[in-house]
Amino acid sequence: MSAMTFVWLSVLLVCVQANCKWQFGNSCYQLLTETMTFDKALQACSAMGGGLVVPNSKNENQFIWEEIASNLMTDGRVWIGCIDKDKQGKWMYAADAGKRCKFDGWSPGEPNVPIILAEECAQMWGFHSGKWVDIQCRELASVICEYYSSLDVTCRQADADGRFA
């Protein structure tokens, strides 16, 4: 590994830690409470160096839901980074169309088969106790960005000056 690569990785990890609010395994999460469409949510997370959250297990989904329930002051609608835009019923990572979403936390009756509406994006909903629903991508919801590291990263919140407590 070159010295430049090492410096870049160090800066990346500091940025990830500065944006991190919660940690589960090797993932850190940042809640954006401004509501936005699915496409805007993808752009916002990408601009921050992360991706739209995709829970990969029942435990991770529950952890995320508990954090949302205790921190979100809206109706608890949060985008999940899984879509079925290419093939109805085949839920893929929005950031990697070739990778299937491994875990699903669908609410009973979801995902439904739309008759008229194109419900191609997924949300975690407070009304469904954190279970997922499929919905139109143009709807508005809050966002959780996920940052992943294969390294053992401890997330800490930085103060306004960028220093860690």
Residue 156 has a pLDDT of 52
Q: Which pTM does this prediction carry?
A: 0.75
Long-range contacts from 10-17, C-beta under 8 angstroms, 24+ separation: 12/49, 13/149, 13/151, 13/153, 15/49, 16/49, 16/50, 16/147, 16/149, 16/153, 16/155, 17/153, 17/154, 17/155, 17/156, 17/158, 17/164
pLDDT digits (tens, 9 = 90+) for 94-141: 987 678 998 989 999 888 876 656 789 999 987 778 899 999 999 999
Q: Which CATH architecture has domain 27-148?
A: Roll (3.10)
* pLDDT of amino acid 72: 63
**What is the pLDDT, as a whole number, of residue 5?**
38
pLDDT of 73 above 90: no
Q: Over pLDDT 90: what percentage of the chain?
A: 38
Residues 144-156: tens digit of each pLDDT: 999 976 554 455 5
